[in-house]
């Protein structure tokens, strides 16, 4: 199989509010926006100061939880690889779901208009590119490993490709975003397989036990002894070829590949975690140097983008966790991230969330938020019960998101926070 060098997608330089050290931390409001925010300015500043501090801490806490659950996933993976069986496979699958849900709860902070240093863009370690290494979807499973009828497709079965960090980075989205070699969904595919029926036997520590397919110059397939190389040119071409009735091979490469996936997942999460670290993290420092009312504005804008672009535009219009059939859980986890920010559970943070911002005069709005979030949770649970393909359950979730967006607009108006009208 031949692989091209990766074409790195240019990371989006957000012309937003959060900027680098040589510029003001947050872009100032326009005169019209300043006029809209003059009412109750003193009270708003006091409340938003607490909220701004809470936002930075919440981002670090949630990102730390994402890193911790990724480590727990790695531990479960080690147990599974030590003794592959249905029970350990079920355990590592659940650990994957926990880890991915924890990551999704951090997405609201990824929507903040952060400008990374130019050098990070050049190196491909800026926020948006790091997200692409963590959460590319949808993906082509056959680009990674065998799919039904084609036991020698994918990176795992390409014996000409050395498995290491550099090679996997090079293969990630090299000609199409669906050709993903890294991230949560590559990991998901390895645990569930294309049809959700991945066998623990695929990960037995053993050498090949059957002949492998060698592609002749004419494009037909012939057999060779174990250890010889060649398979399909790529995942896309496999659909045009005749299915092959050959046992799954390359077990040790499969084990090596999934271990590399886990290592890279943790590496990229730790990168973001360090940048949110309260004392010296780059993103944390941006918030600390910013005016609290601009941080509040950024948070509301991020929430609006999360609801509109991430949920309505993507996750409720597609199938993000297709191999595990748990897309409903993805929506629930994103919503949980919103709840964590605006309604912190800790008593020590009780004065930092949305109820404190709204105050007694707008207590009804605060209650409406909690009711709407509960309705969303109920809709997600209904979607789970009805099945991931149920169109009516999915549409119910969409309607709840639209209602929450409307509530966000009314909340911003009550707090004199300039917020663009939702499309």
Q: Which residue has the tokens 């909220």?
A: 51
Q: What was the pLDDT predicted at 212?
A: 53
Cα gap 394→216, rounded to integer Å: 47
- What is the arithmetic mean of pLDDT over 7-32? 41
Copy the structure tokens of residue 254: 């499969």
* Mean pLDDT calculated for residue range 2-25: 39
Q: Give me the chain's average pLDDT, please.
A: 85
* Tokens standing for residue 5: 């060098």
What is the pLDDT confidence band of residue 133, given thresholds at 50, 70 and 90?
A: very high
Residue 117 has pLDDT above 70, yes or no: yes
Distance (Å, whole) CA 142 – CA 405: 38
Mean pLDDT computed over 152-168 = 96
Q: How high is the pLDDT of residue 351? A: 76
For 276-302, what is each residue's pLDDT tens digit?
999 899 999 999 999 999 999 999 999
Cα–Cα distance measured from residue 389 to residue 42, given in angstroms and rounded to the nearest whole number? 50
Length of the chain measured in residues? 423
Residues of the chain above pLDDT 70, percent? 79
CA distance 252 to 43: 62
For 112: left if phi > 0, alpha if psi spans -120 to 50, otherwise beta; the answer is beta
Summarize pLDDT for 231-265 with one digit per residue, the tens: 333 444 444 444 455 789 999 999 999 999 999 99
Cβ pair 341, 108 in contact under 8 A: yes
- Tell me the pLDDT band of 209, cut-offs 50, 70 and 90: confident
Is residue 348's pLDDT more than 90?
A: no
Cβ(257)–Cβ(208) below 8 Å: no
Domains along the chain with CATH numbers:
31-136+182-196+251-414 (1.20.1420.20)
Q: For 147, phi and psi rounded to 5 degrees? A: -125, 165
Query: Looking at the DSSP assignment, which residues form a beta bridge with residue 213?
Result: 223
> pLDDT per residue over 14-23, tens digit each?
334 555 444 4
Residue 103 has pLDDT above 70, yes or no: yes
pLDDT in tens, 373-407: 999 999 999 999 999 889 999 999 999 999 999 99
Residue 245 has a pLDDT of: 58
Q: Among residues of the chain, what percentage have pLDDT more than 90?
A: 74
Are 4 and 176 in contact by the 8 Å Cβ rule? The answer is no
Are the C-beta atoms of 228 and 94 separated by less than 8 Å? no
215 pLDDT more than 60: no
Of residues 36 and 142, more confidently modeled = 142
Whether residue 97 is predicted with pLDDT greater than 70 in this model: the reply is: yes
Long-range contacts of 8-14 (CB under 8 A, 24+ apart): 8/124, 8/129, 9/129, 9/132, 9/173, 9/177, 10/121, 11/116, 11/121, 11/124, 11/126, 11/127, 11/128, 11/129, 12/128, 13/115, 13/116, 13/121, 14/113, 14/114, 14/115
- Dist CA 121 CA 239 (whole Å): 37
| Residue 280 CB-density burial (10 A; 0-12 exposed, 13-18 middle, 19+ buried) | exposed
Which of 7, 21, 62 is CA-nearest to residue 273? 62
For position 346, what pLDDT does the model report? 72
Q: Is residue 62's pLDDT more than 50? A: yes
């Amino acid at each position: 199989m031949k692989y091209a060098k990766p074409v790195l997608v240019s990371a989006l330089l957000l012309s937003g509010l959060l900027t680098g050290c040589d510029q003001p931390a947050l872009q100032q409001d326009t005169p019209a926006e300043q006029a809209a925010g003059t009412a109750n300015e003193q009270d708003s500043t006091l409340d938003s100061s607490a909220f701004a501090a809470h936002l930075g801490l919440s981002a670090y806490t949630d990102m730390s939880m994402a890193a911790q659950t990724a480590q727990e996933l790695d531990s479960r993976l080690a147990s599974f690889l030590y003794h592959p069986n249905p029970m350990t496979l079920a355990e590592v699958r659940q650990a994957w779901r926990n880890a991915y849900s924890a990551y999704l709860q951090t997405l609201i902070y990824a929507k903040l208009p952060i400008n990374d240093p130019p050098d990070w863009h050049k190196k491909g370690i800026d926020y948006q590119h790091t997200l692409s290494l963590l959460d590319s979807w949808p993906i082509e499973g056959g680009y990674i490993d065998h799919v039904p009828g084609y036991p020698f497709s994918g990176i795992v079965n390409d014996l000409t490709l050395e498995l290491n960090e550099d090679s996997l980075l090079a293969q990630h989205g090299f000609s199409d975003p669906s050709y993903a070699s890294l991230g949560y969904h590559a990991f998901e595919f390895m645990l569930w397989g294309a049809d959700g029926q991945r066998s623990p036997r695929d990960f037995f520590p053993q050498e090949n036990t059957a002949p492998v397919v060698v592609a002749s110059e004419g494009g037909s397939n012939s057999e060779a002894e174990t250890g010889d190389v060649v398979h399909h040119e790529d995942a896309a071409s496999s659909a045009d070829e005749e299915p092959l009735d050959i046992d799954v091979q390359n077990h040790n490469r499969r084990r090596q590949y999934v271990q590399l996936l886990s290592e890279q997942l943790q590496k990229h999460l730790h990168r973001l975690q360090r940048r949110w670290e309260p004392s010296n993290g780059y993103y944390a420092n941006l918030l600390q140097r910013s005016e609290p009312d601009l941080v509040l504005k950024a948070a509301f804008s991020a929430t609006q983008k999360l609801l509109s672009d991430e949920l309505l535009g993507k996750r409720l219009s597609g199938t993000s966790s297709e191999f595990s059939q748990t897309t409903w859980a993805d929506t629930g986890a994103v919503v949980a991230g919103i709840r964590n920010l605006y309604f912190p559970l800790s008593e020590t943070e009780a004065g930092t969330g949305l109820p404190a911002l709204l105050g007694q005069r707008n207590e009804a709005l605060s209650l409406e938020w909690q009711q709407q979030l509960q309705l969303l949770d109920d809709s997600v649970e209904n979607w789970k019960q009805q099945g991931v393909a149920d169109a009516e359950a999915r549409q119910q979730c969409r309607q709840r998101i639209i209602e929450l967006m409307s509530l966000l607009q009314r909340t911003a108006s009550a707090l004199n926070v300039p917020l663009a009208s939702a499309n």
